[in-house]
Structure 1
Amino acid sequence: MKELIRINYESENPTILGRDLHRVLEVETPYHKWFPRMCDYGFIENVDYMTVDKNVLRADGTLMPQVQHDHQLTVDMAKEICMIQRTPKGKQCRQYFIDLEKAWNSPEAIMARALQFANHQLNLVKHQNEELTGTVAVQNQQIIEMKPKVSYYDVVLNCKDLISTSAIAKDYGKSAIWMNRYLHDKGIQFKQGDIWLLYQKYAEEGYTSTKTHSYCGSDGNQHTKVHTYWTQKGRLFIYDLMKADGILPQIEIEMA
């Protein structure tokens, strides 16, 4: 359908500018006098039309000092105004608007608008989801940043009990045999019978504590055996010693 007059499709329903209709109808009466006369036929502002103001350009492209009043008309109002004119141009415009309404309300046009609206809503939801995802990611990062990292020192300081060499070795993914050999090679301890003891230099630092355990031997008699345990101070001593050699506990390797 050839465009007879410009239609605005930006609102929910199509509208026509009053001045455009006035021009196409070839009305001789100035618009500012003609439009109020049309409104006397019972048209209601904000129902049948909306007043819009716009700046007017001169021929040289500069703005005129006054603001020009215009109006967005519904198609129904535009049709009735065309009938009021009782001119061939009025009849032509009225038929144009009738054909326009038929096209606007056709199943194809309704479906197209529905799809357009659905796409708009989908894009809106996608945008909201992106913003939400970004917000969650930032919050997770902030939680990670605020969460205090648990160091090996923290673990040790929270433990007050004596601890075996096997347990300390396990912190590093090592065995008690490896740990005892390492401490021996570093000149920290020596083996006396079945028990590892610290050299005098370290024995006075409170790094270890011995415990005597009773057990029933294969001969059926009760026997005793002494075991050496490390205090938490001694545990930290081993930590500093091994860290100097580039050996870290598993908990610190995992955080790196």
Structure 2
Amino acid sequence: MEELLKVTVNRSNQQVISARDLYDGLNIARRFSLWVSDNFDDFEENADFTTVRKSTVVNNGAKRELQDYALTISMAKELCMMSHSEQGKVYRRYLIELERKWNDPAEIVKRGYAILQDENSRLKIENTQMQPKALFADAVSVSHTSILVGDLAKMIKQNGVDIGARRLFNWLREHHYLISRKGADYNSPTQYSMERELFEIKESTHINSDGVTVTTKTPKVTGKGQQYFINKFLNDQSA
């Protein structure tokens, strides 16, 4: 079927055409504004038509903004009848065929499938973007106990940040969460970390091969600390 009018689909999933295109196609003799004022009174704005702007190029090559209207197919058919012309009959038959194809069950199913595909694609993108945050939140929300720094590194890596235990220890020392000075307190939480309850120290004792009782101190990340560092690595990739 030869295209007599350009048809678009509006946000309400309705077919609409340009009033100016229909006006030109019907070869209306009087001015566009007069044709509109004479014929649009029986129609409802935002139901049968909406006001839009249309750009056109004038003789000097400049663009000019024109008043236009997006017409529903039903309104366009009535305007064709109101023209009382042979051209109006031709355009009305064209619009009836457009409407028939649009309402064909196979076309309805095809449009519905396309909408579902677009919606699924959008949801997949949103889920992909939110998945790391959701996984981090789930991991921390169930954490009521302190964990080793190595375990924290595994949690972070499982959620897309490339880091291991050694690199995480280095990062914690470089950012003054753990003591970097060599000695008995090496890798112990700094005062800054302890005041903010990001770490706690787990002490344990054992007897070495010489029969001497040895006390070891192990830094462990609290639930609050897990939340803090997880958000840090998730939201600040410069970390």
Which SS does the other structure have where 2:108 is aligned? helix
Tell me if 1:164 matches 2:207: yes
Which SS does the other structure have where 2:122 is aligned? helix
| C-alpha distance 55-153 of structure 1, shift in aligned 2 (>3 A) | closer
| C-alpha distance 31-164 of structure 1, shift in aligned 2 (>3 A) | same
Distance 1:109 1:116 in 2: 10
Distance 2:3 2:15 in 1: 14
Deviation at 1:156, TM superposition (A): 8.8
Deviation at 1:82, TM superposition (A): 0.5
Deviation at 1:5, TM superposition (A): 1.2
Deviation at 1:153, TM superposition (A): 6.5
Deviation at 1:135, TM superposition (A): 3.3
Distance 2:20 2:97 in 1: 21
Structure 1 residues 42-191: aligned runs within 5 Å: 42-64=42-64, 67-136=65-134, 141=156, 158-159=203-204, 163-165=206-208, 179=209
Q: Deviations over 1:56-84 (max 9, x none)?
A: 321232134xx310000000000000011
What are structure 2's unaligned runs of at least 5 residues? 138-154, 179-185, 190-199, 218-239
Q: Deviations over 1:70-128 (max 9, x none)?
A: 00000000000001111110011111111111100001110110111010111011111
Distance 1:21 1:78 in 2: 8
| C-alpha distance 128-156 of structure 1, shift in aligned 2 (>3 A) | closer
Runs of 4+ deviating beyond 3 Å:
134-149, 151-157
- Greater shift after overlay, 127-136 or 22-31? 127-136
Amino acid at match of 2:83: Q
Amino acid at match of 1:164: I
When normalised by structure 1's length, the TM-score is 0.57
Which SS does the other structure have where 1:47 is aligned? coil
Q: Tell me the equivalent position of 2:16.
A: 15
Distance 1:34 1:135 in 2: 58
Which SS does the other structure have where 2:34 is aligned? helix
Amino acid at match of 1:84: M
| C-alpha distance 158-43 of structure 1, shift in aligned 2 (>3 A) | same
Distance 2:5 2:16 in 1: 11
| C-alpha distance 24-136 of structure 1, shift in aligned 2 (>3 A) | same
| C-alpha distance 26-158 of structure 1, shift in aligned 2 (>3 A) | same
Which SS does the other structure have where 2:125 is aligned? helix
Bigger Rg, structure 1 or 2: 1
Percent identical residues: 25
Q: Deviations over 1:149-181 (max 9, x none)?
A: 8x886899724x5x322xxxxxxxxxxxxx55x
Distance 1:55 1:6 in 2: 15
When normalised by structure 2's length, the TM-score is 0.61
Aligned residues: 169
Which SS does the other structure have where 1:76 is aligned? helix
| C-alpha distance 68-157 of structure 1, shift in aligned 2 (>3 A) | closer
Distance 1:26 1:157 in 2: 89
Deviation at 1:7, TM superposition (A): 0.9
Amino acid at match of 1:33: L
Distance 1:38 1:51 in 2: 15
